[in-house]
Structures are given as structure tokens and as C-alpha cells.
Amino acid sequence: MKTLLLISAVLLCGCASSNILRPMPDDISGYRYYVIDANSDIPDANFSTFEEAAVYQKEYAEYHDYVIVKIEDEYKVYNMQLMIEE
């Protein structure tokens, strides 16, 4: 009886931490890489990997001053212009 209890306890109480310690793949991490012109508020493109964003940035480097921003979820634009009250 003790042997059966011990075997069932070992089988039912397995360690699942090995899945937690594995790194998450880049494509499902929840981060997006946005390519934004330094003089603009709106991103020109977004990618799931940094490598894709870097290729895009290099392709259009002659025409734009691009920066790559890593953001979780989505990009939100807040236009902060001064409101002049008369």
C-alpha cells in the first residue's frame, strides 16, 4: 500500500518548471519593432523581429532619419502641441 501511494505521488507531482525556463520565441513574444522617422509621430512600418526592422531602416536610410522602437502591444500616438488660449 505504501509503495502504491509513493508511486502515485511521484507520478502525479511531476515538475513542470522546465517549460517555464525555456526562452519564448521572438515571433510570439508580444513585442513589435516600429520604424519611425525622427521628425514624425506616426510609424512608417512595424515588424515582428529586429532584423526585419533593421533591413527596412537601411533600405530607406538615404531618404529618412529612422529609429527603431521596441514596444509591447501597440503604438499609441499622443500629439502634444501647446494650446494657446486667447
Q: What is the pLDDT of residues 60-84, one digit of tens each?
A: 988 888 989 888 766 666 655 555 6
Residue 7 scores a pLDDT above 80? no
The pTM for the full model equals 0.54
Q: What is the pLDDT of residues 16-29, one digit of tens each?
A: 555 555 555 545 56
Q: Which three cell numbers stand for residue 38?
A: 525622427
Residue 49: strand pairing partners:
none
Q: What is the pLDDT of residues 29-57, one digit of tens each?
A: 678 899 998 888 888 999 989 999 999 99
Task: Report whether 72 contacts 34 (CB < 8 A).
Answer: no
Q: Give start and end residues of each alpha helix (H) in 1-86.
A: 2-12, 17-21, 50-59
To which H or E segment does residue 46 belong?
A: strand 45-47
With cell 514596444, the residue in question is 71
With cell 502591444, the residue in question is 73
